[in-house]
Amino acid sequence: MAVRHQLIKRHPDTVWAVLADGGRYQDWVVGPYRSQPCEGVWPELGSTISYSVHLGPWSLSGRTVVRRCEPPKELELEVDSGALGTARIAVEIRPWGEHALVIMDEHPLQGPGGLLHNTVLDALFQLRHRSMLKRLARVVESRPRQPGEAV
């Protein structure tokens, strides 16, 4: 299991606003070069986002399904990458003083990732999470501050 955290210097509601915007998915998730809300109203339970990933000369399409949503603190997603299998990504947002502590937890569920799950795969997830959390922080921290939000 790969768990990583990032302090984002904005209010937890601001972090949630980015996670709840299905149009921003490709801005913070590492991998997709294109994504779009597909079914339902993101991030309601069961809603989906479709995405495309380029891996060298190959292209992969998949979808992400909301499996659990507790605004403004928890979002759990199931990423379905077709032949590569599925993975669970849980994002937890905790108030940390005036800021937000974001904790990301990912592990494979089905397919090759689930069968081959090991410490090497967890290390790769850690690298992906480091980048993903930095991207999320950049997107969140670049948003205009809301009236009354601390600096």
Per-residue CA distances from 94 to 10, 61, 66, 109, 145 (Å): 11, 32, 19, 25, 19
What is the rounded distance in angstroms from the CA atom of residue 12 to the CA atom of residue 90? 16
Tell me the backbone φ, ψ of residue 135, rounded to 5 degrees. Answer: -65, -45
| Residue 139 structure tokens | 């997107």
Decide if 62 is inside a domain. Answer: yes
User: pTM for this one?
Assistant: 0.85
- CATH number for 28: 3.30.530.20
pLDDT bucket at 143, cuts 50 / 70 / 90:
confident
Decide if 29 is inside a domain. Answer: yes
What is the rounded distance in angstroms from the CA atom of residue 4 to the CA atom of residue 125? 9
Decide if 24 is inside a domain. Answer: yes
What is the rounded distance in angstroms from the CA atom of residue 19 to the CA atom of residue 32? 15
Decide if 146 is inside a domain. Answer: no
69 is in which domain, residue-wise?
2-141
What are 69-102's pLDDT values in tens digits? 999 999 999 999 887 789 899 999 999 999 999 9
Decide if 129 is inside a domain. Answer: yes
| Residue 119 structure tokens | 């410490």
Decide if 151 is inside a domain. Answer: no
User: Is the sign of the CA dihedral 115, 119, 124, 127 positive or negative?
Assistant: positive
Q: How many CB atoms lie within 10 A of CB 142?
A: 10
Decide if 59 is inside a domain. Answer: yes
Decide if 113 is inside a domain. Answer: yes
Query: What is the number of structural domains in the chain?
Result: 1
Question: Which residue type does 18 have?
Answer: V
What are 10-67's pLDDT values in tens digits? 999 999 999 999 988 889 887 777 888 899 999 999 999 998 887 778 888 889 999 9
CB of 3 closer than 8 Å to CB of 125: no
